[in-house]
Structure 1
Amino acid sequence: MARYFFDLHECGSVTRDPEGQELPDIDVARETAIESARAIMCYELSHGHLCLSCHIDINDNEGRNLERVAFRDSVEISGSSAS
């Protein structure tokens, strides 16, 4: 198993993942990042705001970026903004 680090980029600030998680592969790491993004968005919504510009970078043990999971890509957005 490989160790993946999930760095949160939220509204101009970065929270680095100092420990990471051992996971079987990048597909599981991607699903983990999507679940985390959704949980963060739920928390934000419960406090009356939501930023869809935030993202989570998945990095390997050497600090190389493997993938970026955008919050906006972690949910299906439907409906119209026009009223």
Structure 2
Amino acid sequence: MAGYFFHVFNDEKTHDDEGQVFADLAGAIARAEKDCIALALESIAEHRHLIMRHHIDIEDSKGRGVATVSFGDVITVSA
């Protein structure tokens, strides 16, 4: 089990000081993907816009950046 921190970069920057524990990095990435989808839906509902480059940076317990998940990674827009 390892601790990961999720720093959100969307219309506001939110630094995660608490973190969460996951079995591995794949679990942390899956959580960030779900959070990106929820944040994207919130942005559309509240602001009527979506910026695909908004993202969540994942940091390990040693302060190293280990992954980034952007809205564009988890959302497909079709016409």
Alignment TM-score, normalising by the size of structure 2: 0.90
**Aligned partner of 1:29: which letter?**
A
Question: How large is the RMSD of aligned CA atoms in angstroms?
Answer: 1.1
Deviation string for 1:17-52 (max 9, x for gaps)? Answer: 010000111111011000000000111111212111
**Aligned partner of 1:49: which letter?**
H
2:42 partner SS: helix
1:40 partner SS: helix
Equivalent residues in 2 for 1:4-15, closer than 5 Å: 4-11=4-11, 13-15=12-14
More helix by percentage? 2
Equivalent residues in 2 for 1:26-41, closer than 5 Å: 26-41=25-40
**Aligned partner of 1:66: which letter?**
V
Divergent runs of 4+, >3 A: none
Gaps of 5+ in 1: none
> How far apart, CA to CA, are the structure 2 residues paired with 1:76 and 1:49?
15
Q: Could you tell me how far 1:2 is from its partner in structure 2? A: 0.3
**Number of positions where the alignment pairs a residue of Structure 1 with one of Structure 2:** 78
Q: Which has the larger radius of gyration?
A: 1
**Aligned residue in 2 for 1:21:** 20
**Aligned partner of 1:74: which letter?**
V
Alignment TM-score, normalising by the size of structure 1: 0.86
> How far apart, CA to CA, are the structure 1 residues paired with 2:31 and 2:43?
18
**Aligned residue in 2 for 1:70:** 70
**Aligned partner of 1:18: which letter?**
D
